[in-house]
Every structure is written in C-alpha cells, then in structure tokens.
Structure 1
Amino acid sequence: MTTVRAAAALLASPLDVGRDQAAREAARELSRAGYQHEPLFDRLQREISQFLGDIMSGGGTGGGGVRSIVVIAVVLAVLAVLLLWALRRFSGGRRTDSGAVFGQRERTAAEHRAEAERLATEGGWAGAIQERLRAIARDLEERAIVTPMPGRTAVELAEVAGQALPPHATDLRAAARLFDDVTYGGAGGTREGYLTLTALDERLRSARTGAAA
C-alpha cells in the first residue's frame, strides 16, 4: 500500500514537474511513517529498483552509458551471490532437519568413540550420546553388518541392525529414540543415557550376525 501511495503521489504531480522535483516528492512520500515498518526484503527490492531506475534514466551515450552498464552488472552480481547464499543456507538447514545419523564430516568408529569420551568428560552428555550412537552405526558398517547408506536415520539404522542382530533389536530401537530425543526433540542428555549407549556399543562390538554365528 505504501508503494502505491508513492506512485499515486507521482501521478498526482503536474505533468510538467521536473525530474528533480519528482524525485523529491517520491523521497518525501517514502520518508513517511508507513515506510518505517516496511519488511526488509520489500525495502531492499524497492531501493534496488529505484537505484536501477535512476541509473537508466540518467544513462546516455558515451562514458555515462558505459558506467551505467558496469554498475548494473555489479548489482546483478551481488544479487546472484545473495541468492546462492540463501539457497545454500536453506539446503543446509534442510539437511540438518532430515534426521540423518551422520553429519557432513566422515569419521571412523574409533574417532566417534574418542569424541564421545571427550564430550562425556566435559559433561556434554547430549553430544556424547550423539557421538556414541554414530560410533555404533559406523562400527556396524565397518564390520559389514549393515550396508552404508547416506542419510540413514537412527530409526532406520535400528531397524536394519535389529534384523541382522535380533537379540539387540530392542536396545537398538531404544538407542535410536534417545538419539532423536537429544538431537531433534530438545531433550537434555544424561550420564545414565550415555552409559546405556556405551554398554550397548560394547555388546555390539562382540556381536555376530546369525549367519556368521
């Protein structure tokens, strides 16, 4: 509505009003209180459009026209960078909320266990629980008990590993729920929860599939 009022103010001006006076009228309209609460995106869009319009209206032949083209190219480049940044941020957020066990950095089971112990020593129980379950998942993959699959969730891991190791299926499902609770449910990790996963990790390290047994 505020942009409409600005346009209306320009249309209401006499036809012989000069460019400078029209610009002053528009600036006076845009400085009113209504524009102070304009959303940031709308304000940026309006200012960029106005900026480009000023360039185009003032651009002519010769050096001025070349400068206008250069400025427009720079503005478009900045907009492209901002768009790429927004897309990457959205993509990153979507990956974080996907529920996958592993993050972007690939580690061995031993590295996940070492990180879990370090976090537990510092009292970071939520992080320690996450790293211990990742150690379990990576260990099962390294031993070919489960097939590696990018983006696998904790629940999916528990289902696949439980089928390969039926005696531990219930404990694996409980471990997956604990992982999801501290990672996506906002629950705080506890020492008891971490010790439960540590004990499960130790049992699974010596476990064998039915076929191997």
Structure 2
Amino acid sequence: MRLDIPVDPDAPEARRWLEDELAKPEYTAAQPTWFDRLMQQVGDWFAQLFSGAGAVPAELVWLVVVAVVVALVVVGLLVFGVPRLRRRRTSAAPLFDDGDVRDLATLRRAAEAAAARGDWALAIEERFRALVRGLVDRELVRVHPGTTAHGFARTASTRFPDATDGLDAAAAAFDGVRYLGRSGDAAAYDAVTALERTIEAARPVAIAADLAESVG
C-alpha cells in the first residue's frame, strides 16, 4: 500500500505540526513558570539599574534594592506560606495521674502557703509539682497521665546531670508524702525548694532531641 506522506506541507499544516509538537508533555514541563519569568525580569531590571547607576544617587539605589527584597519576601510568604515556628504550647499539660494543670506561679504559691501553716506533706508535694511544671514549660521534659515522679527524675537528670541525686531525693520525698502517708518535714521541703530554684537558674545539657522523650 502506498501512503502519501506530505514532505512539503503548506503553512497551515506546518503550523499545526509545530503546535502539536510543542503541546507534548516534555515541552510543557520545560517551560518556565511565572515565578521563573518574574525572577528573570527582576534580574534584568537590576542589571539595567546598576549599568546606569553612575547617574543615580547610591542612597536611592539601595532604597530600591531594599524595597524589592521586601516585596520578594512578601511574595514568597504569599506563595509558600508563613514558616512554621516553634511555639510554646498554649494549654498546660496535666501533671501525673490527677490532671493537674495549674501553672508554675500557682503551684509555688500553694507550696509556700502550705509551708507557712506547717503542712509539710502538702508543701513538699506542691513544690515538687512546681519543679515538674517548670521543666515542662521550658519544654525540657514531657509528661503524661502515667508519668511517675521517679520517671520524671530520670528524664530530668539527662538535662541536669549534676542534679541527679537531688532529683532522686525529691521524687522519693514526693512519693513518700503522696502515696506512703508520710508527714514530711521542713528539711525535706527546703531541699525540694532549693532544687527547684537551682534547676530554674541552671542551663540544661544539650541532647540530640529537642525535647526529652516522654517519661513513664
């Protein structure tokens, strides 16, 4: 069978062939995006600006440059969105198994009030909770309803290794007054208080993760 292949197309036929060829995916994907064209125009504009900058005051040139940079940043934010910044949690994580969500200042006032009336058991418990809340607020440890005092102490020790013994003792004091019915005393309360203040002012040891793992 003989096929008639047009080897010398007329102008309309040649144009149709060209449009069909350029419509193929490989040509479409290679075309510059609107952002590419914008950047090219900005680059050409800068080249023209600085090529004739001898007659333009330097202050005006830099003012224009800053304005263009700001405009590009705004365009970038509109196109790609605002970067996700690390923010502190807006709601307090509950402490231990009773859903305590009081803030640090409230816990400290409760501890001081209990100590003032000689209720050492409650004073120790509240001061230990303040210790935990302070580290949670600083995002150095995470707690959940199943977190134990000693579990917290182990995790906190990775950030404050010099306070390991004090953390263990404070956890034991907390467990003693909360679960074992001990009355506590001023010395134990003063020790937990001093530890809480020391850790508040101390710089934590850097670890691989941004936050310590959840403790149990």
In the superposition, the TM-score normalised over structure 2's length comes to 0.50
Which of residues 153, 156, 160 is equivalent to 2:151?
156
Distance 1:131 1:150, change over 3 A: same
Q: Is 1:187 the equivalent of 2:187?
A: no
2:152 & 2:179 partners in 1: Cα distance? 16
Structural RMSD (CA)? 1.6
Question: Aligned AA for 1:157?
Answer: F
Contact 1:120 1:128 in 2 (8 A): yes
Q: Count residues with an aligned counterpart.
A: 113
Contact 1:116 1:131 in 2 (8 A): yes
Contact 2:121 2:178 in 1 (8 A): yes
Structure 1 residue 151, shift from structure 2 partner: 2.5
Task: Determine the structure 2 residue equivalent to 1:124.
Answer: 119
Higher relative contact order (CA 8 A, sep 6+): 2
Distance 1:169 1:188, change over 3 A: same
Q: Is the deviation greater in 104-113 or in 136-145?
A: 104-113
Could you list the runs of 5+ residues in structure 2 that have no partner in the other structure? Answer: 1-94, 208-216
1:102 & 1:134 partners in 2: Cα distance? 12
Per-residue deviation, residues 24-58 of structure 1 (Å, max 9, x unmatched): xxxxxxxxxxxxxxxxxxxxxxxxxxxxxxxxxxx
Task: Determine the structure 2 residue equivalent to 1:145.
Answer: 140
Q: Which secondary structure state, in structure 2, belongs to the residue aligned with residue 156 of structure 1? A: helix
Counterparts of 1:51-200 in structure 2, within 5 Å, are 101=96, 103-200=98-195
Could you list the runs of 5+ residues in structure 1 that have no partner in the other structure? Answer: 1-99
1:103 & 1:183 partners in 2: Cα distance? 12
Q: Which secondary structure state, in structure 2, belongs to the residue aligned with residue 152 of structure 1? A: coil
Contact 1:130 1:179 in 2 (8 A): yes
Structure 1 residue 105, shift from structure 2 partner: 3.5
Q: Which secondary structure state, in structure 2, belongs to the residue aligned with residue 183 of structure 1? A: helix
Question: Aligned AA for 2:148?
Answer: T
Q: Is 1:205 the equivalent of 2:197?
A: no
Q: Larger Cα Rg: Structure 1 or Structure 2?
A: 2
1:114 & 1:102 partners in 2: Cα distance? 21
The alignment-based identity, stated in percent, is: 38
1:198 & 1:185 partners in 2: Cα distance? 21
Structure 1 residue 196, shift from structure 2 partner: 0.6
Question: Aligned AA for 2:180?
Answer: G
Per-residue deviation, residues 88-127 of structure 1 (Å, max 9, x unmatched): xxxxxxxxxxxx7463341011111110001111111000
Structure 1 residue 131, shift from structure 2 partner: 0.2
